[in-house]
Amino acid sequence: MTPKKTHYYFSLIHFNIDDFKISLAMPQAWQAVDLYHAIADDRASIGKWLPWAYQMKSPLDEAAFIKKIQEDMINQRMIVLTILVNGQPAGMIDLHNLVKNKKGEIGYWLSSKFQGNGIVTRSVTELCQYAFHELNLQYVDLIAAVQNGSSSRVAEHADFKLMGVRPKLIHGSDDGQIFFFRPLANWLYVRPSSRTAALIRAIHSWRNTRFLVRRSR
Tell me the residue length of the chain: 217
Scored b (16 or more CB within 10 A) or e, 49-61 reads: beeebeebeebee
> Whole-angstrom Cα distance, residue 17 to residue 39?
23
From residue 149, alpha-carbon distances to 31, 32, 48, 145 in Å are 29, 28, 13, 8
State residue 75's pLDDT score.
84
Please state which of the ranges 135-149, 160-174, 175-189 shows the lowest mean pLDDT.
175-189
Long-range contacts of 185-189 (CB under 8 A, 24+ apart): 187/129, 187/132, 187/133, 188/132, 188/133, 188/136, 188/138, 189/133
For residue 141, list its beta bridge partners.
105, 180
Band (188; pLDDT cuts 50, 70, 90): very low
More confident residue, 147 or 217: 147
Helix (H, G, I), strand (E, B) or coil at 188: coil
Bigger pLDDT: 126 or 215? 126
Domain ranges of the chain: 6-216
Average pLDDT over residues 111-126: 97
Check residue 201 and give its pLDDT. Answer: 57
> In this predicted model, what pLDDT tens digit does every residue of 189-205 receive, in sequence order?
444 455 555 565 555 55
Of 90-99, 140-149, 191-200, the one with minimum mean pLDDT is: 191-200
pLDDT the model gives residue 173: 86
Q: Among 3.40.630.30, 3.30.590.10, 3.40.50.2000, 3.90.1150.10, name the CATH number for the domain at 6-216.
A: 3.40.630.30
pLDDT value of position 203: 56
Instruction: Find the helix or strand (DSSP H, E) in which 196 lies.
Output: helix 194-204
- pTM of the shown model: 0.85
pLDDT for 11-58, tens place per residue? 899 999 999 999 999 999 999 999 999 999 999 999 999 999 999 999
d(CA 89, CA 111): 9
